[in-house]
Amino acid sequence: MPEQPRAARRGRPPEAGLAQRRRRQIIESAYVVFAERGYEGTAISDVAAHASIGQGTVYRYFTSKREILDHVVDFGIEKLVATIEPQKMLQLPTSAEDLMESLHAAASRIYDMVEGEPEFIRLLFVEASAIDKELADRLLGLEMFAAKFVARELRRGIEARWIRADVDVDVIAHTILTLVLPGLMRELRGPSNAEVRERTVAAVLNLMMKALRPRSLAP
């Protein structure tokens, strides 16, 4: 018996890239809602409502609110890294002043983000890090990523002799970031004060520059 032709499939064919776009839509909505209400104060239905989709659609792409948070943290880290603009630190500073100016500009961009999106920064650095060790470790990795850039430039400075040869670059890189952290925490508590944050960043970087420059170059 000859093979019968298959009946044509009804309905629209799958839209190329739909799954990726839908996941991104859910993550971006969760980013907004988590920042506004906090992780604990948000339900899956809230995320679905913000994304203008059904709750079942959310569960088609994510198994739980905790899984969504993982992706929201990744999304936030992407935004933060884009804000820091690490590629600008690849412009090879030729002096301690150049390096500190680059760090100053990066810190200013972070402060601007804190001022513009304080709820999300609070979610990323306070709420998420307190939920479990895995998230805390991922956020610690962000600090290590930034410190790696600073340490690399300090090593270059030692080779070029505009940084003291006896500097422990890994320790100093983390120290620079740690000294800026209290200013960020103060910004999160509010209210924002541009003059105070500028004084904080300038004082920290001025202190580090004096400590890093070879004595023969010290003013």
| Pair 38, 123: CB distance under 8 Å | yes
| Pair 11, 28: CB distance under 8 Å | no
Per the model's pLDDT, the better-predicted residue between 114 and 185 turns out to be: 114
**Domain residues for 117?**
70-217
For residue 171, being part of any structural domain is answered with yes
Residue 191: asked if its preceding bond is cis (omega within 30°), the reply is yes
For residue 11, being part of any structural domain is answered with no
**Prediction pTM value:** 0.70
For 82-111, what is each residue's pLDDT tens digit?
Answer: 877 766 655 677 888 888 888 888 888 888
Residues 134 and 30 in one domain: no
Burial of 138 (C-beta count, 10 Å sphere; 0-12/13-18/19+): middle
Q: Check residue 111 and give its pLDDT.
A: 80
| Pair 120, 31: CB distance under 8 Å | yes
Q: Is the pLDDT of residue 44 over 50?
A: yes
Helix axes 169-189, 194-212, angle to 10 degrees: 170
Burial of 22 (C-beta count, 10 Å sphere; 0-12/13-18/19+): middle
Q: Check residue 99 and give its pLDDT.
A: 83
Residues 31 and 82 in one domain: no
Q: How far apart are CA 130 and CA 132, in angstroms?
A: 6
Q: How far apart are CA 150 and CA 48, in angstroms?
A: 41
Using CA atoms, how far residue 106 sits from 16, 100, 199, 205, in Å, is 38, 10, 15, 12
Helix (H, G, I), strand (E, B), or coil: what is residue 4? coil
How many domains, the chain? 2
For residue 146, being part of any structural domain is answered with yes
Q: Check residue 1 and give its pLDDT.
A: 46
Taking residues 122-139, what's their average pLDDT? 77
Taking residues 21-44, what's their average pLDDT? 91
Give the percent of the chain with pLDDT over 70: 81
Q: Which of 112, 127, 101 is nearest to 38 (CA)?
A: 127
Helix, strand, coil % in the chain, rounded to nearest 5: 75, 0, 25
Query: Which CATH number does the domain housing residue 28 bear?
Result: 1.10.10.60
Residues 137 and 169 in one domain: yes
Q: How far apart are CA 94 and CA 99, in angstroms?
A: 8
Q: Check residue 191 and give its pLDDT.
A: 67
Our CA dihedral for 72, 74, 79, 120, rounded to 10 degrees, sits at 40
Residues 80 and 157 in one domain: yes
Q: What is the DSSP letter of 216?
A: G
Residues 80 and 56 in one domain: no
Residues 136 and 186 in one domain: yes
